[in-house]
Amino acid sequence: MARYGILVYSPSPADPMDCTPDYMRLLERYPAQVEELGGRIVAGFALQPSTTATSIRGDVVTDGPFAEAKEVVAGFYVLEAPDLDMALRIAKLNPAVQDGGVEVRPLFAG
């Protein structure tokens, strides 16, 4: 099966401790929904808030993300799915699409 990186975007600063109980229930159901469609979440991680980021460009190290943004990467997961169409169908079920969004990218398998 092909693998896809799914980047989860949420409103800045995307603090996982701010998730509502309703949102957490949706997240808890998501892996079962993925499996029902024939996919599998290989690994997934929530990120600490964007305020904890440290950026490096060349020799310059600064506190914070690369750029100020209304939405930031809040987490990511690796998805196995039969094809891109199914990966997109699965990603659309992620609760983050309601107030942020997700980005689906095929993983390089070289």
Mean pLDDT, residues 66-87: 91
Q: Work out the angle at residue 40's Cα, subtended by the Cα atoms of residues 90 and 9, and round it to the nearest 5 degrees.
A: 50
What end-to-end distance do the CA atoms of the chain give, in Å?
15
- In angstroms, the CA 72 to CA 46 distance is 12
State yes or no: pLDDT of 2 exceeds 90.
Answer: yes
pLDDT band at 88 (very low <50, low <70, confident <90, very high): very high
State yes or no: pLDDT of 68 exceeds 80.
Answer: no
Site of tokens 């800045």: 12
State yes or no: pLDDT of 7 exceeds 90.
Answer: yes
pLDDT of residue 5: 97
* CATH number of the CATH domain containing 51: 3.30.70.1060
pLDDT of residue 1: 92
pLDDT of residue 35: 97
- In angstroms, the CA 52 to CA 63 distance is 8
Q: How many domains does the chain have?
A: 1
- In angstroms, the CA 84 to CA 67 distance is 30
pLDDT of residue 69: 74
The pTM is what?
Answer: 0.89
pLDDT of residue 105: 97
- The whole-chain average pLDDT of the chain stands at 93
Expressed as residue numbers, the domain containing 84 is 2-106
